[in-house]
Amino acid sequence: MFVQEFIKNQAESFTLPSPEQFTQLAEMENSLIVLEVLFKDYMLTEIARIVEDNNAHVFSLTVLPVGDGATLLVSMKLDILDISAVLRGFERFNYKIVYSLTREGEIDDTQRERIDELLYYLNM
């Protein structure tokens, strides 16, 4: 019965995507990252490698075309609370991070600036 409900929910979310489903976290998911990627640059293997190189696992991945389809929003739900290493990995490979959220709260610009300043200091 559980399998049938899961398939039904997936089919409904596929046919009727909503912003709430795009950014909602389930019980096993601890964080969310949304990337903006050009369609020609989208490679799932590279995205998964960056996540898994930082000891995280992708529980859910949703791709939503934006506008004319030249740009994609890629929503990843991960199993870790501290996503700072994953975010730095995406920045290192020039991915545009649109949104990030953890169960403990959203990582804001001030925290991101402090992390960048610390990394700059450590590289001196």
In a domain, 50, yes or no: yes
Number of domains in the chain: 1
pLDDT at 24: 58
Tell whether 48 is covered by a domain: yes
Residue-level pLDDT at 69: 78
DSSP the chain: -HHHHHHHHHHHHHHS--HHHHH---TT--EEEEEEEEGGG--HHHHHHHHHHTT--EEEEEEEEETTTTEEEEEEEES-S--HHHHHHHHHTT-EEEEEEETTEE--HHHHHHHHHHHHHHT-
Q: Is residue 52 part of a domain?
A: yes
Q: What pLDDT is stored for residue 1 in this prediction? A: 43
pLDDT of residue 120: 81
Domain-located, residue 86: yes
79, part of any domain? yes
pLDDT confidence of residue 61: 87
- Residue 21 belongs to some domain of the structure: no
Tell me the mean pLDDT per 10 residues along the chain, length 124.
Answer: 57 55 61 90 95 91 83 88 91 91 65 78 74
Full residue range of the structural domain in which residue 84 is found: 28-122
Inside any domain, residue 7: no
The reply to whether 13 falls in a domain is no
CATH number at residue 86: 3.30.70.260
**For position 98, what pLDDT does the model report?**
87
Question: According to the model, what pLDDT value does residue 43 have?
Answer: 94
